[in-house]
Structure 1
Amino acid sequence: MFKRLAPLVLSLLFAAPALAKDELAIGITQFPATLNPSIESMLAKTYVLAFAQRPITAYDASWQLICLLCETLPSMENGLAKVESLPGGKKGIAATYTLRADSRWADGKPVTSDDVVFSWEVGRHPQSGVAAAELFRRITRIEVKDARSFTLHVDKLTFDYNAINDLRLLPAHIEGPRFKSAPAEYRNRTAYDQDSTNPGLYNGPYRITAVVQGSHVVLEPNSHWGGAKPAFKRIVIKAIENTASLEANLLSGGVDMIAGELGLPLEQAIAFEKRHGARFNVVTKPSLTYEHLDLNLGSPILADLKVRRALLLGLDRETMSRQLFEGRQIVAESLVPPLDWVYAADLPKASFDPVRAASLLDEAGWKPGPGGIRVNAKGERLALDLVTTAGNRSREMVAQVMQSQWKKIGVELRLKTEPPRILFGDTVTRRKFPHMALFAWYSAPESVPRSSLHSAMVPNAANNWSGQNYTGYASPAMDRLIDSVEVELDKDKRKALWREIQALYAADLPALPLFFKSDSFILPKALKGLVPTGHQDPSPYWVENWRWE
């Protein structure tokens, strides 16, 4: 937020001329904390790996579930998915997938069922540190048919039974020895971080050939890729955390494009288009990105619902959206975006109400004190710490506005920024933020929030910091709703359950909703074939369609 323009950034402003036309330089705002596909949930890692790895299934730009690494998506209709009866009258699913015959790791070894089994073993191990472990735990066994075909036996029949997007494949021939010798140390021993340029780690159209920590990643074609031949002989992804510097790099030719998934904030992109629209295509895509404040509910201050409610009512989010984003950031009342078909449009809105906010703080025992900041009976000030990503101009402005608005109701907000790789690699993952963390969730269509809201998903030392429930939220009612919505196949009944989830979230406020964001892709006029998706499966999954014209 208040990041100084360091010498490294200054050097980037005067970068070399734009790359040759069979090369592409991309600017993003974060550098991955790890390159392991299963550890951590940082979007920067997902974006970079999307050029070099393919999941078995993914959602496309039309929000339809498709095969990327498999031949046919299993379904009840085609007979590749079958309901199984389980003990206690429960229902499970057996889904059979066949990997594409041309799938190869970039060292030439085929992607096989052994890789699937190994990835499952890592994901379900309680100390592996995998971020989204729920799918791995639900798979009770894998029946290997042959080198490419396997059947997953899952202990629940869910509405999204054939979506195994979270089953990220790891190459057993490389990662196997590192994991099996010390599972609890695997997250620190993975070849993705210790031997990042090993070609055997990647099975997409590109492979990573150079990594300069905190600076850039270089990708070159995977000669064993069996799909459409990619157009670029070299792609460089540069991490430039300061968004003003990122824009300057684009204008100076240091990068050719800015990724929408991790690029300029909307208001900066709008201003850029007004000045440079003749030179670049600015494509703005409404997305499922949820900007919010995660609250550490272990804090005695924030454990009080009256305080959380007062903080939300003390924010004029409508004015923020209008003044900062020309009204293009939709104010969020819960965690489900209006673009998603399960969005509950009839939820009551938490409109700006500083009078009610002050009353709630009075009820919670926080009375006006010296300098206008409230104090409790012990004389302790109502002071909260907020941490967010360094260099993001949009979050700088939002945080400063929140600081000003909350001061008017007697709340002191202290601002701190961290590089994204620190914030997401350590601070939020290990729940080290004392009060608040400002960031965004980037979700898939109808994405059940088990990992971020279920009480079993709170990261801790015992589970090696697995799970994404960084707030520490524990609600039996929410747990029941999450368990119920996953197994409800009837769409009308499922939508009703989704409404209850959103209503409970808005009532309990484990996080403070801010906005649903739009992604702004800033592209050179000659670049064709890039299609924004608007969800967490990013555009580089289809990089083989990108080209210069």
Structure 2
Amino acid sequence: MRRAGKLTVLGLALWGLAWAGPADNSLIVGASQEPRVLAGDFLSIISNQSIKAEIEQYLFVPFITIDLDGNNVAVLATEVPTVQNGRVRFTDIGGGQRRLEIDLTIRPDARWSDGRPITTDDVRFYFEVGKAPGMPVLDPDYWRRVDLRVRDARNFTVIFQPAYATDLIGGPGLPIGYAPRHIMGAAWEQVRRQAAGLDPTRDAQRLNELYRGFFTQFSTPGYLNQRQMVYSGPFVVQRWVPGSTVELVRNPNFFIEPPGGHGRYVQRVTYRFIQNTASLQVAFMGGSLDAISRVGLTFDQARAREFVNRVGRNFDIWFVPGAIWEHIDINQFPNVQQVRDLGLNDRRTRQALLHAINREGFVRTFFQGLQPVSHIWIAPTNALHNPNVRRYEYNLDRARALLAEMGWRPGPDGILQRTVDGRTVRFEIEWVTTAGNVVRERFQQFVAEDFRRIGIATRINNAPSAVVFADDFIQRASEGRWTGMFMFAWVSSLVENGDLFACEFRPTRENNYVGQNVGGWCNPEYDRLRAQAVVEFDQTRRKQLFDRMQEIWAEELPALPLYFRADPLVVRRGLVNYVSAAYSGGNNYPNWWPWAIGWEQRGAQKLFDQAKYALTVR
């Protein structure tokens, strides 16, 4: 980790800033996205939003998490499984593959928020649902490989066959979950009876509707406001006002006591949803917020002179490098008419688009060069990163030449056109991103002019995150829900298996929309190398395989790589343990140790130093 100091800020702050946080031991967090659902959607079937995952870290604790230094830490489990303590066992199963068994024990004091013990029956329930035929899970590879053996109410074994080299990494690498059977079990039994006899291929749509309906009923504001859901984390949902706030209060049955006792730490957390990031910036300057969500301000907004001068005396402003990859996915499903018309499934088109994007200029202009341009999807903070892949410089002439190879010629209005199946097609491409994100919307404006200079027209089709990240939008490129470019960020982790771009993880009607290869790229050599890499435990050989995978990726450009983000973390002075690092909690969230977030003025003990995990910014 790079050692660094916080951003030095000067200037007069607003008079009369509200210090309600320490006064009533509360925390108000500003976020630029609102979750579509919470809590009951425990497999993220309905939504895979980052803001959903962040808030749920207050509500549920994992068996194992990742600390600020990338180490496994036990939370709900009694200890981290290792070979040394006998809780990890490997068996050679031939063909260069292994079987992995991981023994876990649930803490004896673990309780749901209603006081019921958390047991292996809740683990069994999680696995029953996840392995249900036709369940549209995000990571089907995991569910194919995993199995469960329960020994008693607190002890169980998770089996991976074949084992992947990443299966022992905490957070996303150990996605061994659990869910409250006593709350959701009866409804699940009804769904199971309705799904009995349905074929996962022939009846995929019907199964999808059944499963989505099951998760929806337990995760909407209407249900959660009835306070019938239970939680394992240090907070429970008190009230959700759609379009405004989610209020969380302390769980009286939470079983991990921070130093000095629960009462010294934050008792209420309120998320305020301000989807326009400029308005979110103003809310900070007005003093009505205590901290920023990881889905919050953009880098340039937190660096703005007026912002720094207005908040600097009362807030610390940090910039935390993370494995957050800003990129543009391209629809490459050939059954979609627009894909065929524009040649989006031809790598020359994607190469031309990237040559026409001045990524270096944008990063220099908006981020002072502090966010690195990306050339591949794996972050430089990951040991698997290959820095020697093909790079695409900003070159409009090269972009024009590639498009000319494909038969594109300027039309009367300067926009390219060509003949496809006897029709004259105009090069107008749809571009989707999250509405209200100032940087992404500026980027669209920044790039659209250069696109027009090479003869490409853009049709902006932005919408709120709850819309574009819903599974019936992002997972439906194969059906033309989005037809061209979709700009967003993947939040990656230390667990890197290359599955974002594997052929089998293209979401389609036939596989019930499982997987996260949302653009639909498919390359047999990449898949073959990936199949070898995931089961390779020799780190040198694994790195070689991933190097070649990245070379193929950079040549083919399944997506357009933009830059890796260093997100701002704005925290009112006196608030402790609201900290993040590149892989904290698995995905860079600042509330990865939520029960210890508190105010020094109320006696909270500072356990972590954010300065060790932030960039030096002048």
Q: Shorter-normalised TM-score: what interval?
A: over 0.9
TM-superposed deviation, 1:18: 4.6
Match among 252, 273, 285 for residue 251 of structure 1: 285
Aligned-partner Cα distance in 2 for 1:87–1:341: 27
Q: 1:233-286, CA deviations, whole angstroms, 9 ceiling, x for partnerless residues?
A: 211111111001111222223322212x11101011111225432231101101
Q: Which residue of 2 aligns with 1:370?
A: 412
User: What letter is aligned with 1:265?
Assistant: T
Residue 321 of structure 1, CA deviation: 0.5
Tell me, yes or no, if structure 1 residue 228 matches structure 2 residue 277.
no
> Do the aligned residues in 2 keep the contact of 1:54 with 1:203 (CA within 8 Å)?
yes
Cα offset for 1:134?
2.7
Structure 1 alignment gaps of length 5 or more: 1-14
What secondary structure, in the 3-state scheme, does the structure 1 residue paired with 2:157 have? Answer: strand
Q: Are the aligned partners of 1:105 and 1:200 in contact in 2 as well (CA < 8 Å)?
A: no
* Separation in 2, partners of 1:504, 1:23: 50
1:263 paired to 2:324: no
What residue number does 1:477 align with? 525
| Aligned with residue 125 of structure 1, among 129, 132, 137 | 132
Look up the equivalent residue of 1:270 and give its one-letter code: R
Matches within 5 A, 1:438-477: 438-450=487-499, 452-477=500-525
Q: Deviations over 1:278-311 (max 9, x none)?
A: 2311011011000000111021121111111100
2:533 matches 1:497: no
- Once the two structures are superposed, residues 368-412 of structure 1 have per-residue CA deviations (whole angstroms, 9 ceiling, x without a partner) of 222221101232111101010011111011111111111111111
SS in 2 for 1:371: coil
* Displacement of 1:446: 4.2
Would you say the 8 A contact 1:126–1:463 is kept in 2? no
Residue 176 (1) aligns with residue 185 (2): yes
Could you tell which deviates more after superposition, 130-139 or 374-383?
130-139
Moved more, 526-535 or 235-244: 526-535
Structure 2 residue ranges without an equivalent (≥5)? 1-16, 193-206, 334-338, 601-618
1:400 aligns with 2:445: yes
Q: Is the 1:530–1:539 Cα contact (8 Å) retained in structure 2?
A: yes
Q: Decide whether the 8 Å contact of 1:108 with 1:200 is kept in 2.
A: no
1:151 is aligned, of 157, 171, 175, to 157
Matched, 1:212 2:241: yes
Distance 2:497 2:34 in 1: 27
Q: Residue type matched to 1:519 in 2?
A: D
Shift of 1:89: 7.5
Q: Which residue of the partner structure matches residue 417 of structure 1?
A: 462
CA distances 1:168-214 after superposition (whole Å, capped 9, x unpaired): 32111112222231153232232123632546531011111211223
The one-letter code sitting in structure 2 at the alignment partner of 1:429 is Q
Q: CA deviation at 1:458?
A: 1.6
Q: Which range is displaced more, 129-138 or 355-364?
A: 129-138
530 and 520 in structure 1: CA distance in 2 versus 1, 3 angstrom threshold: same
Offset from partner CA, 1:113-144 (integer Å, 9 cap, x none)? 111111112112243333234322211x3111
Query: Is the 1:86–1:92 contact (alpha carbons within 8 Å) kept by the matching residues of 2?
Result: yes
Give the AA of the match of 1:62.
Answer: D
Partner of 1:161: 167
- TM-score after normalising by structure 1: 0.93
Q: Is the 8 Å Cα contact of residues 292 and 513 (structure 1) preserved in structure 2?
A: yes
The higher-RCO structure (CA 8 Å, 6+ apart) is 2
1:286 and 2:334 aligned: no
Q: Which residue of 2 aligns with 1:37?
A: 42
Residue number in structure 2 paired with 1:53: 60
Q: 1:192 aligns with which of 204, 213, 219?
A: 219
Q: What does 1:331-370 align with in structure 2 at a 5 Å threshold?
A: 331-370=373-412
Deviations 1:489-548 (A, max 9, x none): 111111111211211111111110001001101111121222212231522120222111
| Deviates most, 271-280 or 399-408 | 271-280
Other-structure match for 2:199: none
Name the CA shift for 1:179/1:127 in 2 (closer, same or farther; >3 Å).
Answer: farther
Give identity over the alignment, percent: 30
Name the counterpart of 1:72.
Answer: 79
User: Does structure 2 conserve the Cα–Cα contact (< 8 Å) formed by 1:18 and 1:255?
Assistant: no
1:188 alignment partner AA: G
Q: What is the alpha-carbon distance in structure 2 between the residues aligned to residue 532 and residue 477 of structure 1?
A: 37
Separation in structure 2 between the aligned mates of residue 126 and residue 385 of structure 1, nearest angstrom: 35
- Shift of residue 159, structure 1, vs aligned partner: 1.3
1:109 to 108, 112, 116: 116
Structure 2 letter corresponding to 1:246: L
Checking the alignment, whether the CA contact within 8 Å between 1:179 and 1:186 is kept in structure 2 is no
How many angstroms apart in 2 are the aligned matches of 1:258 and 1:399?
25
Corresponding residue for 1:237?
271
Q: Counterpart in 2 of 1:28?
A: 31
Aligned twin of 1:511: 559
Q: Which moved more, 1:242-251 or 1:387-396?
A: 242-251
Mapped to 2, the partners of 1:517 and 1:88 lie a distance apart of 40
AA aligned opposite 1:91: R
2:475 counterpart of 1:429: yes
Rounded to whole Å, the distance in 2 between the matches of 1:433 and 1:453 is: 18
Q: Shift of residue 151 of structure 1?
A: 0.7
Q: In the aligned structure 2, how far is the partner of 1:313 from the partner of 1:543?
A: 43
Q: Distance in 2 between matches of 1:112 and 1:199?
A: 19
SS at match of 1:235: strand
Q: Does 1:525 align with 2:525?
A: no
Q: In the aligned structure 2, how far is the partner of 1:410 from the partner of 1:387?
A: 19
Q: Indicate yes or no: 2:345 matched with 1:303.
A: yes
Root mean square deviation of aligned Cα: 2.0
Report if aligned partners of 1:527, 1:547 keep a CA contact under 8 Å in 2. Answer: yes
Q: Aligned residue for 1:6?
A: none
Question: How far apart are residue 156 of structure 1 and its match?
Answer: 1.2
Amino acid at match of 2:121: D
Moved more, 207-216 or 40-49: 207-216
Measure how far apart 1:225 and its partner are.
0.6
The TM-score normalised by the length of structure 2 is 0.83
Q: Which moved more, 1:376-385 or 1:458-467?
A: 458-467
Contact 1:304 1:364 in 2 (8 A): no
**More off after superposition, 497-506 vs 358-367:** 497-506
| 1:25 partner amino acid | I
